[in-house]
Amino acid sequence: MEVTELLAVLMTALLVIAAATLVGPRLRVAAPLLLVAIGVGASFLPAFAAVEIDPELILAGVLPPLLYSSAVSMPAMNFRREFGAISGLSVVLVVASALVLGVFFMLVLPDLGFAWGVALGAVISPTDAVATSIVRQTSVSKRVVAMLDGESLLNDATALVLLRTAIVATAASFSVWGAVGTFAYSVVVALVIGLVVGAANLALRRRVTDSTVNTVISFAVPFVASLPASAVGASGLVAAVVAGLVTGVRAPRELSPQNRLSDSQNWRTVELVLEGAVFLTMGLQIRSIVVDVQEDHAGVAPALLIAVGALVLTIVVRAAYVAPLLRVLSARARHAEAMQPRVQSMHEQIRTEGAVGPFAEMNRRGRSGPSQLAAEAGPEGVAVPAPAEVASPSPSPRLGSGGSRTPSPRASRTRSRRTSSSRRTSSRTPSQRTLDQFTRRVTQGLADIEYFLRQPLGWRDGTAVVWAGMRGAVTVAAAQTLPEDTPQRPVLVLIAFAVAALSLLVQGGTVGPLLKRLSPPVDEVELHERNESERTRIFELMRASGDAVPAPEAPVLERSKEAFDASVAHTLAMLAAQRSALLDARDNGLFDADVLADALANLDASEIAIVLRGRLAD
């Protein structure tokens, strides 16, 4: 294809992506479905008859920036709160789905074998971050969106490691512990690389004042994280996600509003183009894959039937996992509700009397530390930790003669040492840093409990989690990484493509109407009052933090340049104090993530406007 033709194709693709994004909502059809259909239609044109997309271009070139961008924009507090559910959906469910599908493919495809069946199951198992963009356009619960977003950010690593392990198992003996070790290595190394890259990214970019240059640097960050991780055998996608999470949490404190606004606008454009390109290329490749199956003298119809069965099986397995998950989350929510009065009392005591009393009380109760109260306080990371310096309960005494309880000498010595340690701890004055950490964790724990009680999960939410688990770009790209000597490779690739296409068509085409039908009636008045209450509390916090900033001394000439500069400096200092207070409240989970994001955006807009006025005055 000549340069002129290539440019024409790129221009047409951009216009098609823009048109599908605008027209899709009017037709009540998700834009990704329109783009897949357009791609299928275009594949019959001679110019696109033999389109082949290198799967590494998707896995290494498209997914890292998409996942990085999603991680940056994801509310970190919601991610932490739902991490227990997210980790189960990302690891346990993917492994279970791959194994069940492996048995299914082994039975329906002659001479395939269990290992190759698991490899194809690993390809089909992960949900897709691009596909879940359909869900965000519905009225689904914010907790469900957080679970689905978090799952799609992390399950790719599980699937790709499992795929690699299954392929190795076809040529050598399989070791369960070896697979676990490989997965642990892949995640841990990626985690370290992502943390380092995220921190280095912020350290560099806070020194770059030019917003355009700052955004260009941000475009390189997901690749700076993913490529080294992949080079050492770790998960490049997890590294990109971790770098994105670090950037999303710390950027409001490290980067200027101008730089963050530039990032947000440009990355939204990048997301739109990359997501649209993924679905267009997916549609373009379907025809060539069908032709490959026909040339291989394998039946297309049987492959499509197997794909239907595989899709049904993934939904069944997902439902079988989500149902008990919801029961566990509900039980933890009830336990959190029982813990709420105690944590509330502790929080009120800290507010009125300070943290020293509650801290000492926790010591006297002999809690075993943060993990104990984290387990007691409720679901998914609701933690109200006790101090680290806590005496553990003494061991149970043993029965002596006549039924009397006589402690053993060893137990007596242990108790004596622990009692002595407890006395030393009780008499030790905690540092201010320890008290601040304790106060923050109590505040955070109470906010977490209120979050889970305010948004309980029911069968409607479970249905949304099950039905919204769509397949997409990861499945399509991973299928094409199967080795050339894979048994019945064209059929396996067609099955994977068909599962992804059917998932988008059936689940993506019906998830909106289904969730609208299942959603309970919303009390608009109550919702409005709740949001207004949140905004009122935010405004009160902003007013208090702004009033704490000392006013400038009144200059002699009120209309002088010095007076103007002093006023601008004072206003910027007030905005900085208000932003710091809101970010502290964000980290503690005190406000709704969306309402808080709006307040922070308003602060950024105010600061940008003031800076521009200052430049005009200069």
Residues 281 and 277: their CA atoms lie apart, in Å, by 6
Residues 259 and 412: their CA atoms lie apart, in Å, by 63
Read off the pLDDT band of 172 (50, 70, 90): low
For 19-24, what is the mean pLDDT? 89
HSE-CB at 287 with a 13 A cutoff on CA atoms is 20
Residues 432 and 540: their CA atoms lie apart, in Å, by 26
Over the stretch 214-258, which tens digit does the pLDDT of each residue have?
999 999 999 999 999 999 988 898 999 999 999 999 999 999 899
Q: Helix, strand or coil for residue 317?
A: helix
User: Is residue 245 within 8 Å of 77, Cβ to Cβ?
Assistant: no
- In b/e form, how buried is each residue of 54-78, taking b as 16+ CB within 10 angstroms? ebeebbbebbbbbbbbbbbbbbbbb
Average of per-residue pLDDT values in the chain: 81
* 62-71, 342-351, 356-365, 587-596: segment of lowest average pLDDT: 356-365
Residues 390 and 368: their CA atoms lie apart, in Å, by 6
Q: Two tokens at 241?
A: 């996600």
Q: What percent of the chain has pLDDT over 70?
A: 83
What per-residue confidence (pLDDT) applies to 567? 82
> What does residue 391 show for φ and ψ, rounded to 5 degrees?
-80, 130
User: Is residue 35 within 8 Å of 20, Cβ to Cβ?
Assistant: yes
* 195-199, 221-225, 297-301, 418-422: segment of lowest average pLDDT: 418-422
Whether 332 shows a pLDDT value over 90: the answer reads no
Burial of 523 by CB count in 10 Å (0-12 exposed, 13-18 middle, 19+ buried)? exposed
Give every CB contact of residue 518 below 8 A, 6+ residues apart in sequence: 460, 463, 464
Whether 105 shows a pLDDT value over 80: the answer reads yes
Specify the pTM. 0.82
What per-residue confidence (pLDDT) applies to 363? 67
Q: Helix, strand or coil for residue 410?
A: helix
What per-residue confidence (pLDDT) applies to 315? 95
More confident residue, 18 or 77: 18
What per-residue confidence (pLDDT) applies to 416? 52
Give every CB contact of residue 68 below 8 A, 6+ residues apart in sequence: 221, 222, 225, 240, 241, 243, 244, 247
Q: How many CB atoms lie within 10 A of CB 462?
A: 18
What per-residue confidence (pLDDT) applies to 14? 93
CA angle 519, 521, 526 (to 5 degrees): 125
Residues 57 and 52: their CA atoms lie apart, in Å, by 11
